Chain A
Amino acid sequence: MMYQGAYTGKILWVDLTKREARSEPTDPELARLFIGGAGFGIKLLYDMVPPGTDPLGPDNVLIFAPGPLTGTDSPCSSRMTVTGRSPATGAVGMAVTGGHFPAEMKAAGFDAIVIRGQSAEPTYLAIQDGKVSFRSAKKLWGMNTQDCQFFLKEELKDQNYRIACIGPAGERKSLMAAIINERRAAGRKGLGAVMGAKGLKAIAVRGHTQLSIAYPQRFATAHNQLLKRFKSSRSLYSGLSKYGTSDAVDVTCELGIFPANNFSATGLFLPIEEIGYETQAKDIVRRNPCYKCPVGCSQVRVAQSGDYAGTLTEGPEFEASFALAGNTGVTDLSALYLADRLCDDYGLDNMSVGSVIAFAMELYENETISPEETGGLELRFGNHSAMIELIHQIAWRRGFGAVLADGVVAAARQIGRRSEAYALHVKGLELPGYDVRGAKAHGLNYATSYTGADHNRGYAAQEIFGSSIPVAVDRFALEGKPELCAWNQVVETALCDCPTFCSFLFSNADAFLQSAEPGLSQELTEHRVATVAELLSSATGIELSPADLIRVGERVNILARCFNLREGFSRQDDYLPRRMIEEPIPGGPSQGHRVSQEDHDWLLDHYYEVFGYDRQGVPTRERLRTLDLAGVADDLVSIGLNPR
């Protein structure tokens, strides 16, 4: 079925080696089966990048893909995925960002931008109303992400350009490098290094394309229902809008799962008063919403006190508060702000940066590494000035920062001395800010997410926030968690990562409490899926039932898994780090909890069953066939996996 609205109808294909760009129609079949965003990214990645492709070579791709809802009146949909083979993990690298760039990219005329090749010289792309120009970025090389955006707007003589770029970290191919637009980040999986390896400093977009809507009246009705739902939320405007994501510090501390000191002191260090949401709220100077977002969770803060008083940052999000404070034992809020700001400026993933510094701090504290190796830096937990210095060093690959610049796996390899025991990651991606020994579905998501330890690919709001959608759960229990994890992954993909929508809205707007609203869960669950299906159907004209939408979520997750299988990933890569399995949480409300080997095996066995995989995590032929992925089964046969 041909789409009749919401899509621009064009995909831009860029070859940096040949300095060629061509526009081709957006394939209606791609739109029907994969919707957009992560769906487009993963399908194109699977088709274009053969097994064993060097992630930092010319044959890797970078796919910038908003969704069909991006740029329409649909609220909170200026989201975009960036996809390529991750140099940090070797698996699917897919990161999501928001802001204004995604909507402007649609206005510039494209449903996706697919970048291949490698430029001999630093280059940036200027894209305006469908026209593409390759421009020299020699003057920009070495520039931080904020100066780069400022400079390009001047050079292009239009302040309305929106720019996605890398900083010095991406230029130096740090495997923790992010792609930054405004102060948002497609942060994780080292996609900034892929961009740097391609010699691509920035993409600037500007346009005036008006998106049509296939059925405006239906779309308006669905849109109004969604806004009504937002208004009825007990947490969206009263919480997220006012405080951003910082309140998750308080929540995770109260649950005893706020990670501390490289996950070695979880529950023993609960810095609610030092860095919790009320303390951070005193520093808020304004909100900075994404395009057409009525919520505006992103906050600009200025440190009022501390060693770095006067520091301004947009953030820190919860994950930065975890990585650059809890995990490093830092309690000076101004140091957290500065660290957050520096990561944005340099184009670094603040989560992985905080994690690799915490890893080094633990090695320093247990005397695996010496002051001579760190260049005299006293890497003790809580030493915020050492953390700040290391961020500079990582970005420029200087001093001990050069050892840490590619994340915990590469650092452990270089340091040796059994340091890998302290490198906390799944598939090479550092753990996010929840100690999942006390949240089993959340942990199973870390273990099985196709991007590595990625909280946003199947966030268990049920365990963290007490949401009862689709069911209220005991976070310590195992029973029902394989089903819940699979549901979270599929729904997050189908409702958020493909259309594209902000995932906060669906985990937050509907986070009702079981005790308060008995019987509402089923209705809310169904309503949530049906609303997005209707928004998509009315906008695009491709009729999509709720069941179809769920099938898209399954299709994208399973195709991503097949990409990873093709790259040699297997069941053994679906495990949490040993610390999560062997060491119980040492203190606080989750004290004593871990995910034992036996429990982990059970969780994986059942999770595979729910997804229609065999015991080794390989999808069955029948499962692939029902998802219109029959050809993928043959690909798996060709690498000896032989799906049943």
Chain B
Amino acid sequence: MITVKIRLYGPLKTTVGKRQSEVELPEGATLGQLPIALQARYGQQLFVLLGGNQPFHQLRVLINGRDHFTLHGLETPLAEGDTITLMPPMVGG
């Protein structure tokens, strides 16, 4: 098993009740497996916020600070100690 760090923003943070959490995944897990693992731990409401059957729909996903679409999207392999940030579209500047 590997443990990854999850950082949450907006309604995701509200639902889980904290900014940061840790989740265990099987060795070789990819980003696409994360919503199911989070659903098991935090329930259906979080799963829906994560896009339900369209994983991470309308969310920004960073893996160690890099947009997941610049890596391998949902197929991006996760490793022990990775930080995954999940945020609604946020644009200030």
Contact = CB atoms under 8 A, between A and B. Distances in A.
Contacts of A240: 91-92
Given A234-B58, A516-B57, A245 B93 contact: yes
Contacts of A251: 87, 90-92
A199 interface: no
A489 to B, nearest CB: 15
Interface string B29-68: 0000000000000000000000000101111111011111
B89 A472 contact: no
A512 B60 CA distance: 10
B92 A515 contact: no
A474 B67 CA distance: 7
Interface centre among B13, B57, B65 (most CB of A within 10 A): B65
A134 interface: no
Nearest to A434: B93
Nearest to B61: A515
Interface stretch (A157-165, A213-221, A458-466, A554-562): A458-466
Contact of A515 (B62, B65, B73): B73
A124 interface: no
Interface string A270-289: 00110001100000000000
Contacts of B59: 513, 516
Contacts of B93: 245, 248, 318, 455, 459, 461, 464-465, 504, 507
B88 A589 contact: no
Interface centre among B58, B85, B92 (most CB of A within 10 A): B92
Contacts of A278: 13
Contact of A514 (B65, B66, B69): B69
Contacts, number: 111
A238 B88 contact: yes
Contacts of B91: 235, 239-240, 247-248, 251, 461, 465, 467, 504, 507-508, 511
Interface residues of B, number: 29
A239 B92 CA distance: 8
A250 B67 contact: no
Interface in A53-98: none
Nearest to A467: B91
A473 interface: yes
A516 B68 CA distance: 12
A247 B62 contact: no
A641 to B, nearest CB: 35
Interface centre among A238, A251, A255, A512 (most CB of B within 10 A): A251
Interface string A509-530: 0011111100000000000000
A511 B89 contact: yes
A263 interface: no
11 contacts: A234-B58, A239-B89, A247-B92, A249-B92, A251-B87, A251-B92, A318-B92, A318-B93, A466-B67, A516-B58, A589-B66
Given A475-B70, A514-B67, A589-B64, 4 more contacts: A245-B93, A438-B65, A466-B69, A475-B66
Interface of B: 7, 9, 13, 19, 54, 56-62, 64-70, 73, 83, 85, 87-93
Interface of A: 234-235, 238-240, 243-251, 254-256, 272-273, 277-278, 318, 438, 455, 459, 461, 464-467, 472-477, 504, 507-508, 511-516, 588-590
Q: Which 6 A-B pairs have the closest CB atoms?
A: A589-B65, A248-B92, A245-B92, A474-B70, A235-B89, A508-B91
